[in-house]
Structure formats: structure tokens, C-alpha cells
Amino acid sequence: MAMRWTPYRAILALAAPIAGIQLAQVALTTVDLAMMGLLGIAAVAAGGLALLLYNQLRTMCVGMVTGVGNLIAEAAGRGEQRTGGEPDEQARTEIRGYAKAALAVATVTAVLGAMLLIGLGYALRWFGQDPEVLALARPILWTLAPGLIPMLWLNVLRQFAVGLRRAGSLLRVTLLSVGVNALLNAVFIFGWLGIPKLGLAGIGLATTLVQLWTFGTYLLTVRRDPVLGDLLSIRAWEADRATMARIVRMGTPISLTYGAEAAITSIAAVLMGGFGPAVLAASNIVNQLAYIVYQFNIGLSQGSSILVSRTVGQGDWPSVRAIARRTFVIGFTFMSVVGVAYVLFPSVVLAPFLGSHHDDAAVLAAASTLLWFAIVQQYCKGSQNLCIGLLRGIGNTKAGMQSTLIGYFAIGVPAMAVFGLWLDWRGPGIWLGLCLGFGATSALVWRKFARRLAEASAPESELVA
């Protein structure tokens, strides 16, 4: 029995630390959303919209440096192959170069992302958003935006550690940061220690300060690590332009894939906002729950991607199929457990995001309905992310982008318009369109992965023919 579960443990050993890190990061904004309930339903609607935009842009920015872990792992693997043990000096130089270049790319990407986030707070008035909701959302967007910079630096360090298979220490740091974030939220909301009450802006400021603190704390942890500290260089100003260009070429399709996902989710949020603050608040809450589940799939996707890259390097294509199968078994098992919890305990799941305001009954009713769509969405969106990770493992980062453009904008967005607006199914119709978009994308990406796997596994004589 132990031997039977060993292959699954190999995937989980890489995926669990990454998923834990992702969950701890999202816990920051989840705590933010929960504490917004103390400020009223209008604050949940406005602040939830701001967090939705922030989370989606954060994910898109992270996409630019996601491939760095694979590049570092490949460099380390080549060095180990040459020496039969530890990476040689050539590999160590490559790894330091990737770290410097990734930090340079991260800085530029984060600054652009922060400017875009602030701009969205003003641009959304042209898309039918409630003026009062936008007025409440803008201050928190201004205080959240600077946090993208240390957040992306932190993700470079994470990819650096993951590539060298030493990611666990960041989990401890980020878990501690969740408690610090909750404390700072309370300080800024209630005006403790003589600090003025900052409302939603204070919640955004707390998250930004925690991102900066987390990066600094983890940087010290990495420097003390006997392996990581020797290989890390943070001299971004010395980055090689060719290395930066390689990271950008690899990261751009990933980022655009995440950007397409951000676009369809943001379009859904804008459409939901047209049905009133209570419906928008319900959608924000359910979306945050689905986003939490999604982080596990991101960890599983990245962990399996690294395993696939390593296996392909060894020329063992039959094992790639086995890794894919085990990845989906783990992912679907987890999502099924979460789905059962949504069905059996909807009030318990939603309670942390609701206060004691009179509008909460309407929000609870709307959110309880949307939970059923969240169950379907997590399978569609989760399987899509797993497939994209598997494709990245075999060196293909462009297929995911192509598939998302078709699935999201040729199928998902029109479906939202038809079901939500034309048929007047309102919130459930919008979420049905989301599910169709993610489901179509998942099918397209899996088809491309299966076709590439079949080509690689075919005998050489068949390929020649």
C-alpha cells in the first residue's frame, strides 16, 4: 500500500508547499474581505470589487515570473548532471543570473500593474458601476497598489526556492503574516493606538505593509539558508538583458493567460455590479471562496509542472501520462470535498463574510445560490489550470493563451451576456457563462496536451511517416 501511494506523495511533496504559500497569500485578502463586513454591505461591495481587481492583477503579474522556477530547476539539473552531485560553478552562475533578471522584470511589471489597478478605479465608471461603490473603492485601490511591488519580489524568491526544491520556509512566514494583517486591519479600522480611523483605505494599507514585511522577513530567511543564501543575488540593476528577455518571453504567454482570466472575471464582476450592491457583494464573497480553492490547484499545477519538466528531460514520456493522471486524481478529490462542504454547510461557509446588517439576508440568499455554480466553476477552472501546468512542463506556454482567448471571449463572455442579460437570469446567468468559458478552455487545453503527449510517445517510424 505504501508503494502504491508513493507516486502521489512525490507530487504532493512539491505541490503542498506551493499551495500552502498561495493559500496564505490569499488569506490576506480573505481576512480583508471578512473584516470589511464590520463596515457594512456597501463596504463589502466596494472593497470586494477592489480586492477582485487586485487579486486578478496580482495573479497576472505573478505569471511574468512563474517560469523562473522551471529555468532555475533546469540550470540546477544540468549542473548536477555534469558533476554527478551538487550544481557546478557554471550552474550557480546561471542561477544567480536568473535571480537578478527576475527581480528586474518583477519590479517593472509590478509598477505597471499598480498604475493599471489605480486607473481601473476611475475607468469603471464608464461601464455602469454604481458611483457610490466606486467612490468607496478608490481609496483602497490606492493603498493596495504599492503592495504589488514587494508581493512580486516575494514571488521571485518563491520561484527561486521552488526551483531549488526548498520552498517550505516561505509557508511559515506567510502564515504568520496572516495574523499580522488581521491585527493591522483592526488597528486601522478602529483607530487603535491613536491612529485615525481609515476605513477601507486602512485595510488596503495593512495588506501593503504586510506584503513589505513578508518580503523582508523571507529575504532574511533565504539569506540564512546554507543552499539558497549562496545562490541568491538581488542585484537587479546588474541583470543581463538577454536573460531578462528570456524570462519575459517565457512569462508573457503565462501572464496573458492569467490576464484573460482576469478579464473574464472582471467582466463578470462589472455585470454583477449592474444588479445592485447586494448581488455584487454575494458574488464577491463566493468568488473569494472559489479563489481560495483555486490556490490549491495552482500549487498542484506548479508542482506537477516541475515533475513533468524533470521527467521530459530524462526522456521518460510514459511517466508524464502517469503524472497527469495522478495530478487530476488529487485535484478532483480535493475539489469534491470542498463541494460537499458547500452543499451541506452553506451558511457556515458564508458566515465569516457577513455581519449583522439588515441587508445580509439578501446577500446570504444570493450567495447560497451562487455556491452551486462555484462547485461547477472550480472543476472547470481547476482542471484548466492543471492542464496549463502540464503543458508548461513539456515546454509549451503559448497553447494555454490561445485556448483561453477562444474559451473566454468566444464562448464565456457571450454566454454571460445571453444568460445574464438577454434571458434575464441575472447573477446565476453570469456565473453559468463563467462556467461555460472555463469549461471550454479546459477542454481545449487538455486536447492540446493529449495530442502532444501522443506525438511524443509514438514510435519514431510513425513520426517520420
Does pLDDT of 152 surpass 90?
yes
Amino acid at 310: R
Amino acid at 398: K
Amino acid at 16: A
Q: What is the pLDDT of residues 122-141, one digit of tens each?
A: 877 776 666 777 777 888 89
CA gap 123, 174 in Å, rounded: 33
Nearest to residue 91, comparing CAs of 102, 77, 101?
77
Mean pLDDT of 414-426: 90
463's CB contacts (< 8 A; 6+ apart) are: 455
Cell 463578470, residue located: 268
> Which range has highest mean pLDDT (173-177, 276-280, 385-389)?
385-389
> Which range has highest mean pLDDT (39-48, 252-261, 321-330)?
321-330
pTM: 0.74
Q: What is the pLDDT of residues 363-411, one digit of tens each?
A: 888 888 899 999 999 899 889 888 888 888 777 777 777 888 899 999 9
Number of other CB atoms surrounding residue 200 within 10 Å = 26
Cβ pair 286, 278 in contact under 8 A:
no
Confidence band, pLDDT 50/70/90 cuts, at residue 463? very low
Q: What is the pLDDT of residues 84-93, one digit of tens each?
A: 667 777 888 8
Rounded to 10°, the helix 131-144/89-123 angle is 150
Does pLDDT of 186 surpass 60?
yes
Where are the chain's structural domains?
Answer: 7-457
User: pLDDT value at position 100?
Assistant: 92
Cell 494555454, residue located: 400
